Structure formats: C-alpha cells, structure tokens
Amino acid sequence: MTAFDAEWAEIKRGISADPGMKLAGVKGGSGGTSGAGGGVSSVKTAWTSAGESVGNLGTDTRKALGALERDHKALGSGGDKGVQSADAEREVHDSWKTYLEAVSGRCDALKEQLQAAATIQHGNDQGAAAAFDKLGQRYKDTPAVGGQKAGR
C-alpha cells in the first residue's frame, strides 16, 4: 500500500466514523411531522449546540486562512512577476483568501443568529425565520473561480 493509499484510507475512516454534527432534539423514526401538533419542538440546547458547531467551523476556517497566508508568504515576495505559475498561484491565493474570509464572516454571523434563536425559540419563530432570511440575503453563494483566462 502506498503512502497515498494509506492516507486516503485514513481520511475515509475519519469521515465514516462520526458526522461531527447531529440534529439535536429530534428522535429517529420513519419520517417526521411538522406543525403545532407534530413531533418537532424547539429545544434551546439544540440551537446552542448548532451555534457552537458553526462557531467551531469559523475557527477552523480562520486557522486555514492563517495557514494559507503563511504558505503564501513562504513562496516569496512576488519578485517573480511574469512567471505563469507564480501568476496562477497568486490568482488562486487571492480567490481562496477572499472565499475563506467570506466563509469565516458567514460562520460568525450565523453563530450569532443561532445563539439569538436559542433565546427566542419558544415565542418568536417568525422573527427567527426573518433573521435567517436576512442572513441569506447578505451572504449569497459565491460564483465559481479559477480557470478563467483573466486577460492571458
């Protein structure tokens, strides 16, 4: 088994072991029901747990951004302008930096919304829904980047 095969097998084991995040407060079964008479209820700990998970994702994203910046600095100060591979690396770096900053910001904003929802979860479902809709308007999905000719 090659080193790549061993590493790939380890990654697959990690993915299949534990999803890392579970829908709290919902019992398993055959399908679900909704509405006032259904089996779904708001549980403050579920909202809090979701907020913590999203906060952890934001922290991990900031760590990834830090590693990206460290590795980018290690490549040099940019004196290699005109070299196609260096130009491509800068373009990829800039797009990933922008993307990771946006993901981190989105995680922070979503964490705040989830924590707020935890405090209002019994009384104001419509207010919580409006807050999440507002968040969705602020953070649209990003378009695909990379692979464009960019004037070359």
What pLDDT was estimated at residue 27?
A: 53
Domain that holds residue 89: 43-140
Nearest residue to 65 (alpha-carbon basis) of 37, 16, 98: 98
What pLDDT was estimated at residue 78?
A: 56
Nearest residue to 126 (alpha-carbon basis) of 42, 17, 14: 42
- Residue 38: inside a domain, yes or no? no
**Per this entry, what is the length of the chain?**
152
What pLDDT was estimated at residue 102?
A: 94
Q: How many CB atoms lie within 10 A of CB 116?
A: 16
- Residue 119: inside a domain, yes or no? yes
Taking only the tens of pLDDT, the chain with its 152 residues reads 788 888 888 877 766 655 555 555 555 544 444 444 444 556 778 888 999 999 999 999 999 999 989 888 877 655 566 677 888 888 888 999 999 999 999 999 999 999 888 877 655 666 777 788 888 888 777 666 765 555 55
- Residue 26: inside a domain, yes or no? no
What pLDDT was estimated at residue 62?
A: 94
What pLDDT was estimated at residue 140?
A: 72
To the question of pTM greater than 0.85 for the whole model, the response is no
Nearest residue to 88 (alpha-carbon basis) of 39, 152, 35: 152
What pLDDT was estimated at residue 81?
A: 62
What does DSSP assign to residue 38? S
- Residue 27: inside a domain, yes or no? no
Q: How far is 6 from 9, CA to CA, in rounded Å?
A: 5
Number of domains in the chain: 1
- Residue 19: inside a domain, yes or no? no
- Residue 1: inside a domain, yes or no? no
- Residue 25: inside a domain, yes or no? no
- Residue 133: inside a domain, yes or no? yes
